[in-house]
Amino acid sequence: MKDGGLIEKRDRMAWLKGGTVQCNHPPAKPAGRVWRLVLLGAPGVGKGTQADLLSARLGACHLSTGDVFRAAKSLCSGEVSPAMQNALAYMRRGDLVPDAIVLAMIAERARCLHCGGGFLLDGFPRTVAQAEELKNMLGQGKVPLTAVLNYDLPTDQIVARLSGRRTCPKCKAVFHVDTRPPRVKGTCDHCGEELYQREDDRPESIRVRMAAYEKSTRPLIDFYQKRGVLVTVPAEGSPEEIYQRTRLALSA
């Protein structure tokens, strides 16, 4: 079970582990439309929650680069490559991981971008160089993006969301101390694990992450607007309200 009681049907093994690892439950090629979406927006705007909702209802797989780094973090140090250990040091500070490391990690997972079930990219691309490389990987437009969803929220609301966020280390469910508290303080509703605050959700990291967003990621709004695929969605309100707005914006 995950976030809001959704059943997570897909394991995303090929994405989380990379290389030749296969998914146990790969998404079937849908009879209708194949969705290839990029979710853009500042950290804490709710991209991950929206990706989960969209994935459960549109069928495409939720591909989060942050989840790949967090999965590597939970391995023993001996199992983590030096490049990945380097990436994790950037992540801990709230800094962006350098493009070369991110792009090498994506290249190992390129087949997820060509999956018949489509994809929901969350947290990638985050720089113009990454966006250019994504275009190359998708064959310069041969595999077109359906849309780039730009979730928009004022900065003070973003900081409040991030600093109150608490995560379950086991099932990854996400709570908020004020707006989405667990039934028992500090404990996951779904699996009873003790909730924790992500290292990069601490105030000093939040400041670094917001600065990195402004400098490196915000220019992607213009990048995708010029290419005619940008769809801006106001990210105020409950996850369900934002989700309904997203479906409307996509005419889905």
Please give the residue ranges that form the binding site for ligand AMP (CB under 6 A): 43, 65-66, 69, 90-91, 94-97, 102, 123-124, 126, 130, 200, 209
Residue 28 Cβ vs ligand AMP, minimum distance, rounded to whole Å = 27
- 20: exposed, middle or buried (Cβ count in 10 Å: 0-12, 13-18, 19+): exposed
The CB-of-53 to ligand AMP minimum distance in angstroms stands at 17
- Residue (11 or 95) nearer to ligand AMP, CB: 95
Taking the least distance from each CB to ligand AMP, the nearer of 27 and 94 is 94
Residue least distant from ligand AMP (Cβ):
66
How are beta strands 119-122 and 36-41 bridged, if at all? parallel
In this structure, the number of other CB atoms found within 10 A of the CB of residue 107 comes to 11
The active-site residue out of 10, 12, 36, 126 is: 126
Cα(217)–Cα(125) distance, integer angstroms: 8
**Residue 202 appears among annotated catalytic residues:** no
Query: Exactly one of 47, 109, 161, 180 is catalytic; which is it?
Result: 47
* Nearer of residues 130 and 246 to ligand AMP, judged by Cβ: 130
Catalytic residue among 2, 92, 198, 202, which?
198
Give whichever of 115 and 174 is closer to ligand AMP, judged by the CB atom.
174
198 classed as catalytic: yes
| Rounded least distance, CB 183 to ligand AMP, Å | 25
For the question of residue 17 being annotated catalytic, the response is: no
- Smallest distance from ligand AMP to CB 130, Å: 6
Catalytic residues: 47, 126, 165, 198, 209
